[in-house]
Amino acid sequence: MFIDSHCHLYSLSNIEDAILHARDAGVAKVVVVSEDLQTMEQTLKLRDDFPEFVLPSLGIHPVNVLYMSNSEWERAFSFLRLHANECSCIGEIGLDYKYATTEKEKEKQRAALHGQMEVAAENHLPINLHSRRALRQTMQEAVAFHKDTGLPTLLHWFAHSLKLLTRTNEEGIFVSAGPSILFSEDALSLAFAIDIQLILVETDAPVPFNGRPSYPAWVVEVAEKLVSHYPEKKLSKEKLLDNAQRYLKKP
């Protein structure tokens, strides 16, 4: 049994087929992360339609944060606060310095991240973090949140730097490996630097890899590749499931 710890299920072209395919492949559940008001609503609808399969995660993505007016932000953030007690985690939240280039934009993302982290803390929920071109900064936010709250914290698709992974391991931060390990030896060997207690698997579906859109069943291939190549055969599918359950466990 597998859990996809980061997936944008509402963006797939045929959601029902993707779910059937995933279940057939052995995927028990997916964490559906959202990006704005519309996708938060879609995520809760998916939870209603597929309650056994969908673990809803509500959040406002750092790229969307940049393009929202104050009133749009208020509406989305109010929705998040109102429905936080119905979800499994808060995300996809974080920092994205590919899009936030000025100090003002970076500050806007940080303020949005901190507001959403507070909602997670109040509701005792784990967080699901995005960190594009802001690896160190997002990691520092993750460490501070985890230290302050003791809540499980995931840096999704974070395995880019050995040095930063040493720190996330020391601090007890979860890191997920995704389909990039199927196509890149470097990505695969970096994934082996994630502590065996802290490694999760994800697809970020439908983000394309190697020219093909990903889908939740792909998490099985990711898990199998990790397990079969992991040094000294230390990692098992059961361990990956246990890690995901610890990440999602309610205190």
User: Which token pair is 161?
Assistant: 């730097």
Q: Contact residues for Zn ion (CB under 5 A)?
A: 92, 204
Please report how close the Cβ of residue 228 comes to Zn ion at its closest, in angstroms.
26
**Distance in Å, CB of 131 to Zn ion, minimum:** 11
Nearer to Zn ion, 130 or 235 (CB): 130
**Contact criterion met (CB below 8 Å) for 53 and 105:** no
* Cα first-last separation, the chain: 23
What angle separates helix 70-83 from helix 37-49, to the nearest 10 degrees? Answer: 30
Compare residues 46 and 235 and give the one whose CB is closer to Zn ion.
46
Residue 238 C-beta: closest distance to Zn ion, Å: 26
Residue with Cβ nearer Zn ion (10 or 235): 10
The answer to whether 33 touches 7, Cβ cutoff 8 Å, is yes
Q: How far is the CB of 92 from Zn ion (least distance, A)?
A: 5
Phi-psi region of 2 (alpha: psi -120 to 50; beta: other; left: phi over 0): beta
- DSSP character for 129? E
Residue placing its CB nearer to Zn ion in the complex, 41 or 227: 41
